[in-house]
Structures are given as C-alpha cells and as structure tokens.
Amino acid sequence: MIRLGFSLVHPDAELPSYAHEGDSGMDVRSVEDVEIPAGGRALVHTGLVANIPSGWEIQVRPRSGLALKHGITVLNTPGTVDSGYRGEIGVILANFGGEPYSVRKGDKVAQLVVSPVVQAEVFAADGVDGTERGAGGFGSTGAR
C-alpha cells in the first residue's frame, strides 16, 4: 500500500475516497458548478493537489454511470497526473450526450487510480523482431 497525501486548496474540496473495499478507483468531486453543452467539454476543478511519490502516477478515469446514463466521459482518458506535478488536479469532461449536462459542486466527476510507473531505456534499433501478427492492426485479428 502507498500513502498518498492531498492538499485541499479550495474550501469545498473533499479528499478522494473509495466507495467499496477492494475498489481500484477513488471517487473525486467537483468544487464548482459547470454546465457542459451537448457535444462540448469543460475543465472541472477538484480543489486537490497531490503529493505523489516518485515512481507513481495517478490516472484520471471516467465514471461508468455518467458514461452510460449521460454520455459523460473523461476526454483524455486516462488522464495522467505525474509525480512531479504539484498543481490542482482538473478533470476534462466531455459530453457525448444529446442534452446539456450540469455538474454541481460536490458531484462525483471521475475516479483516481494510483499506479506504479515503469520507465523504459529507449534506444534506436536497426529493426524489430518478426511476429506472427506482424504489422497487422485495427481489426486485423478478425471481426468481433
């Protein structure tokens, strides 16, 4: 388990919390009212600044209920909060629904998932190993 400290930089900010034991995502809430037009997007503030240890990241992910019921998702999912970032965590919400969507102060707007980070040693290679799949992509494994 990792200990993760948050600074509440807005008077209405609340610490993220797990809804159920064993959940991977912590619910994060809005500190403001925001109207997202149909087909539009908005940055929603959380009032949270995280003290993420080196070697870890926070991933910002959509809430399935908002996606199913209203067509609301995190636009750059998963969003990444790097360990060196010390600004407020914002959530970019997109409205793919047919009606405007109102985010109210205190609404759960996303999930935060804490994940270890592995960095690669990158180098220029003369080529890549051959595989059965090769360069096939985007549906190359067959329908459905």
For the chain, which residues make up each domain, given as ranges?
Answer: 5-116
Q: Check residues 24 and 131 and name the one with the higher pLDDT.
A: 24
The CATH number of the structural domain formed by 5-116 is 2.70.40.10
Q: 119-135: b or e for each residue (b if 16 or more CB lie within 10 Å)?
A: eeeeeeeeeeeeeeeee
Q: Please write the tens of the pLDDT for every residue from 3-12.
A: 999 999 999 9
* Listed residue (25, 73, 83, 30) closest to 52, CA to CA: 83
Name the pTM for this structure: 0.89
Return the percentage of the chain with pLDDT > 70, whole number: 98
- Cα–Cα distance, 113 to 2 (Å, whole number): 12
